[in-house]
Amino acid sequence: MITIWLHRRKLLFSTIILMLIITVGLTTPGIIAGNRETVRIRGSGSTFLQLQLMAWITVFHKIHPSITIEYNGIGSGAGQQQFFEHLTDFCGSDPPLSHETWLKYRGQILQLPIVLGAVAIIYNLPDLKGYKLRLNGRILSLIYLGNITYWDDERIKRLNPSISSLLPHARIIVVHRSDSSGTTEIFTYYLYRSSNGLWPIRLVGKIIEWPVDKTGRGLGGKGNAGIVSIVMNTPYSIGYVELSYAIKYRLSVALLRNKAGYYVEPNITTIMMAGDNAVKTGLLPVSPLGDFSRELQAVVYSPGKLSYPITCFTHIFIWVGYPPHKAEAIKDFLAWIIGSGDKYIIPGYAPLPSPVKRIVAEAVGLVKGER
């Protein structure tokens, strides 16, 4: 009898232990069916990249529900700051790292061009009644320097002879980013490249002192969404935004004169053409560990009669080493973007050229899990 009692007690104890294990397995964060850990990846940065990245994240999470990716569009500058302070796992940045920053973190960071985009020049001119405005780098420089005051300025009329009578004698309200912005760096670099020396190199950067502000006609907006809001609600204004925002809000977009002398609109064809021509320059590195600091020189104001002149790659920066569960999740996400991401590109962006995709594919194999 004693032996039977001991056997039953042992069996009961084993059952209780098994139930506890099952309960812990079902309720403890980090454990799900299939023994795959739940992983939370946090990123911040570029608002230029935000719409496309969120579209990718939404689809990816449906396929990989154990991986949650959060992204906060706070601007490239603030995103880089959070990333380098290890407050986030990755950052979105329109321009690549400067040569000096790349040297400082050489071998620790991977720079991944993730998609092609474009900076669109938007405007609010009710008098044009749907006609397309033509602009070039020199005229835009004069507007943002504060030297062209009215929409019916003779220099703007000469670019737009067919609609010159529709250009109003109204003061130009000039809208720009107020936060540290990769979009601003790309736009100001275009002005520098395309204005025949009119726009100085000292006014190229993520955040600058805009000369037009001294005239009282400059307005600052936070993020691409901030620019959109001001231009939409301010007649006779002009601004610059990532193309997908212009498409989403159905804003008027200017035709820009490219390096070959043609006026082109930003669309998937002209963006891809600029990206392909950038690869041909030989200025892009062949590894995600390489120095990308000459990338803007390659893609902004690139050659080719169909190239849109303010095209750029937008990037994700990641570390080479992560805790193992995060390393695997980040690798899964990058591999999915390269393998399937093109099917989910939203209007305003364009797929990467094949040689650039290979750089990102190589990065997947370089990410390491470190305990």
Of the candidates 317, 294, 365, 330, the one whose C-alpha atom is nearest the C-alpha of residue 91 is: 317
Q: Which residue has the higher pLDDT, 159 or 7?
A: 159
Residue 20 has pLDDT above 70, yes or no: no
Mean pLDDT confidence for 5-9: 41
Residue 195 has pLDDT above 90, yes or no: yes
In the chain, % of residues over pLDDT 70: 90
Domains observed in the chain: 37-117+274-295+309-369 (3.40.190.10), 119-267 (3.40.190.10)
Residue 5 has pLDDT above 80, yes or no: no
pLDDT at 16 (0 to 100): 36
Where does 164-206 have alpha helices with state H? 182-194
Per the CB < 8 A criterion, the answer to whether 309 and 300 are in contact is: yes
Task: Find where tokens 């938007």 sit.
Answer: 122
Q: Which residue has the higher pLDDT, 9 or 240?
A: 240
pLDDT tens-digit profile of 53-95?
Answer: 999 999 999 999 999 999 999 999 999 999 999 999 999 999 9
Task: Find where tokens 């990989």 sit.
Answer: 64
CA gap 39, 29 in Å, rounded: 9
Task: Name the CA dihedral angle for 235, 308, 249, 122, rounded to a multiple of 10 degrees.
Answer: -10
pLDDT band at 7 (very low <50, low <70, confident <90, very high): very low
pLDDT band at 240 (very low <50, low <70, confident <90, very high): very high
CA gap 76, 141 in Å, rounded: 23
Per the CB < 8 A criterion, the answer to whether 352 and 360 are in contact is: yes
pLDDT at 36 (0 to 100): 56
> pTM of the predicted model, to two decimals?
0.88
Kindly state the DSSP code that residue 202 receives in the 8-state scheme.
Answer: G
Residue 28 has pLDDT above 50, yes or no: no
Residue 13 has pLDDT above 70, yes or no: no
Per the CB < 8 A criterion, the answer to whether 338 and 364 are in contact is: yes
Per the CB < 8 A criterion, the answer to whether 76 and 95 are in contact is: yes
Which one-letter amino acid corresponds to residue 203? L
Where does the chain have alpha helices with state H? 2-27, 50-63, 76-84, 99-104, 137-145, 154-159, 182-194, 223-233, 243-248, 268-280, 295-299, 324-340, 354-366
pLDDT band at 29 (very low <50, low <70, confident <90, very high): very low
Residue 130 has pLDDT above 90, yes or no: no
Task: Name the CA dihedral angle for 257, 261, 263, 269, rounded to a multiple of 10 degrees.
Answer: -100
